[in-house]
Structure 1
Amino acid sequence: MAKKHGVEFDTPNPSYKIQGDLPLWHHAGEDPSKIQYHNTAAANCLRQNHGVLLVHEGMEVLRRLEDQAHKTSSRCHCVACNADRRSKGCENPHACTEQVARTLSRLIPKWDPRKGEGDAGANSQESQDDNVFRPPPPITLVAEGFRVLTHPPRYAQRVVQPRPQQRDPTSTITRVVFIGSATRRDGEGKLRAGGGIWYGPENPGNMSLQLLDNEPQTSRRAEIAATLIVVQQTARDQPLAVYGSRSIVGPEMTQKLETREDQGWFGTPDRDLLQVLAAELRARTVQTKLCNVDTAQQLGNQGRREALALAREGCLRGEQTLINLHIDPGKQLRGAKLSSLTQAVAYASIKEKREPVIRRATENNIKQIMDAAKEIFSVCPTPEQIWKSIRHKDLSRQVKNFLWKSIHGAHRIGTFWKHIPECGERATCNFCNETEDLEHVLIKCRRPGQSEVWSLARNLWMRKCNSWPEPSLGSILGCGLATFRDERGKNSPGLARLYRILVSESIFVIWKIRNDTVINHDGQPVPENMIHNKWLQAINLHLTFDRALTNHAKYGKQNSIKSSLVLQTWSSTLLNEELLPGDWIKHPRVLVGIEPKSSHPPSQPSGRRGRGR
Structure 2
Amino acid sequence: MLPEESSHVYTAGASLREGRHDAASGSGIWYSANHPDNKSLRLPGAAQSQKTSEIAAVLLAAQSATGFVPLTIYTNSEYAINGLTTHLRTWEDKGWIGVPDSAYFRAAAYHLKRRSAPIDFKKVKNPTSATGTRAAAALATTAAASPLDDETIDLTIPPSFNLQGAKLSTIAQATAYQAIRERRAPHTRLGTEARLAETRLDLGNFTHRLETDATLWRACRSPDLRAPIQQFIFRALHRSQKVGEHWASIPGYQDRALCPACDNTTESLDHILFRCDDPTAATIWALAKSLWPHGQDNWPQDKLGIVLASGCLTTRSQLLPRQGPTPHTAPTPLRPSAPGASRLLRILISESAYLIWVLRCERVISETQHTATTTTTRWMRAINDRLHTDQLNASRLIRTSKAVTRAQRTWAGTLADEHQLPGDWPKSHEVLVGIRAPRTPT
User: What range is the shorter-chain TM-score in?
Assistant: 0.7 to 0.9
Deviation per CA, 1:40-89, whole angstroms, max 9, x where unpaired?
xxxxxxxxxxxxxxxxxxxxxxxxxxxxxxxxxxxxxxxxxxxxxxxxxx
2:347 is aligned to 501
CA drift of 1:204 comes to 4.2
CA 1:339/1:310 → structure 2, altered by over 3 Å: closer, same or farther?
A: same
1:409: how far off? 0.8
User: Given the alignment, which residue of 89, 93, 96 partners 1:265?
Assistant: 96
Task: Report the CA distance shift for 1:304/1:424 in structure 2 as closer, same or farther (over 3 A).
Answer: same
Contact between 2:10 and 2:74, CA under 8 Å: does it hold in 1? yes
Match of 1:368 in 2: 198
* 8 A contact 1:546–1:566 mirrored in 2: yes
Residue in 1 aligned with 2:381? 537
Cα deviation, 1:440-494, whole Å, max 9, x if unaligned, reads 2222222243222211221222x11232222211222222343333256889873
How far did residue 278 of structure 1 move?
2.5
Could you say if the C-alpha distance between residues 358 and 200 of structure 1 is closer, same or farther in structure 2, counting changes exceeding 3 Å?
same
1:282 deviates by 2.8
8 Å Cα contact 2:21-2:213 kept in structure 1: no
- Determine helix, strand or coil for the equivalent of 2:235: helix
Q: Which structure 2 residues correspond to residues 200-349 of structure 1 after superposition, within 5 A?
A: 200-212=32-44, 214-294=45-125, 301-320=130-149, 322-349=152-179
Give the conservation status (yes or no) of the 8 Å contact 1:453–1:532.
Answer: yes
Separation in 2 of the partners of 1:397 and 1:504? 11
Looking at structure 2, the residues matched to 396 and 291 of structure 1 have their Cα atoms a distance apart, in angstroms, of: 48
* Structure with max Cα Rg: 1
Query: Does the 8 Å CA contact 1:185/1:191 hold for their aligned counterparts?
Result: yes
Q: How does 1:165-204 map to 2 (within 5 A)?
A: 168=4, 171=5, 173=6, 175-185=7-17, 190-204=22-36
Residue aligned with 2:99, SS: coil
CA distance in 1 between partners of 2:105 and 2:239 (Å): 36
Matching residue's letter, 2:364: V
Aligned counterpart, 2:222? 392
| Alpha-carbon displacement from aligned partner over 1:282-302 (angstroms, at most 9, x marks no partner) | 323333333432189xx9644
Residue 366 (structure 1) shift? 1.8
TM-aligned CA deviation for residue 189 of structure 1: 9.2
Partner of 1:30: none
The change in CA–CA distance for 1:226 and 1:409 in structure 2 (over 3 A counts) is same
In structure 2, the partner of 1:471 is 302
For 2:181, the equivalent position in structure 1 comes to 351
In structure 2, do the counterparts of structure 1 residues 575 and 231 end up closer, same or farther at CA, with 3 Å as the change threshold?
A: farther
Instruction: Return closer, same or farther for 1:587/1:421 CA change in 2, 3 Å cut-off.
Output: same
Structure 2 CA distance for partners of 1:456 and 1:415, relative to 1, 3 Å: same
Q: How does 1:543-562 map to 2 (within 5 A)?
A: 543-547=387-391
Q: 1:571 aligns with which of 406, 409, 412?
A: 412
Aligned to 1:409: 239
- Rounded to whole Å, the distance in 2 between the matches of 1:200 and 1:551 is 61
The structure whose RCO (Cα within 8 Å, separation 6+) is larger is 2
Q: Which runs of 5+ in 1 are unaligned?
A: 1-166, 598-613
Q: Aligned partners of 1:563, 1:223: CA distance in 2, in Å?
A: 40
Q: Deviations over 1:200-246 (max 9, x none)?
A: 4454443443223x423211111121111111112333333333334
Alignment partners' CA distance in 2, 1:249 and 1:403:
38
Instruction: Name stretches of at least 5 consecutive residues in structure 2 with no aligned partner.
Output: 318-332
Whether the 8 Å contact between 1:184 and 1:191 is mirrored in structure 2 is yes
State the identity as a percent: 32
Q: What is the RMSD computed on CA atoms of the aligned residues?
A: 3.4
Deviation at 1:423, TM superposition (A): 3.0
With normalisation by structure 2, the TM-score equals: 0.81
CA contact (8 A) 1:448 1:526 kept: no
The one-letter amino acid paired with 1:572 is G
What is the correspondence of 1:84-233 to structure 2 with a 5 Å cutoff? 168=4, 171=5, 173=6, 175-185=7-17, 190-212=22-44, 214-233=45-64
Aligned residues of 2:363 and 2:369 also touching (Cα < 8 A):
yes
Question: Is the contact between residue 200 and residue 303 of structure 1 (CA under 8 Å) also seen in structure 2?
Answer: yes
For residues 356 and 428 of structure 1, what CA distance do their matches in structure 2 show?
Answer: 34
For normalisation by structure 1, the TM-score amounts to 0.60
Residue 567 and residue 256 in structure 1: after superposition, are their counterparts in 2 closer, same or farther (change >3 A)? farther
Whole-angstrom distance in 1 between the partners of 2:162 and 2:195: 40
- SS of the aligned residue for 2:201 comes to helix
Does the 8 A contact of 1:447 with 1:525 survive in 2? no
* Alignment of structure 1 residues 437-456 onto 2, 5 Å: 437-456=268-287
2:369 maps to a residue whose letter is P
Aligned pair partner of 2:360 in 496, 499, 514: 514
- Correspondence 1:380 to 2:210: yes
Q: Which amino acid aligns with 1:289?
A: D
Q: Residue type of the partner of 1:407?
A: L
Q: Distance in 2 between matches of 1:548 and 1:256?
A: 45
Q: CA deviation at 1:397?
A: 2.8
User: In the superposition, relative to structure 1, how do residues 200 and 257 fare at CA in structure 2: closer, same or farther (>3 Å)?
Assistant: same
- Displacement of 1:528: 2.6
> Aligned in 2, Cα 1:489/1:202: closer, same or farther, shift over 3 Å?
farther
SS at match of 1:400: helix
Contact persistence 1:575–1:590 (CA under 8 A): no
Query: What is the identity, as a one-letter code, of the residue corresponding to 1:276?
Result: A
Contact 2:55 2:105 in 1 (8 A): yes
Amino acid at match of 2:22: K
Aligned letter for 2:414?
A: T
C-alpha distance 543-182 of structure 1, shift in aligned 2 (>3 A): farther
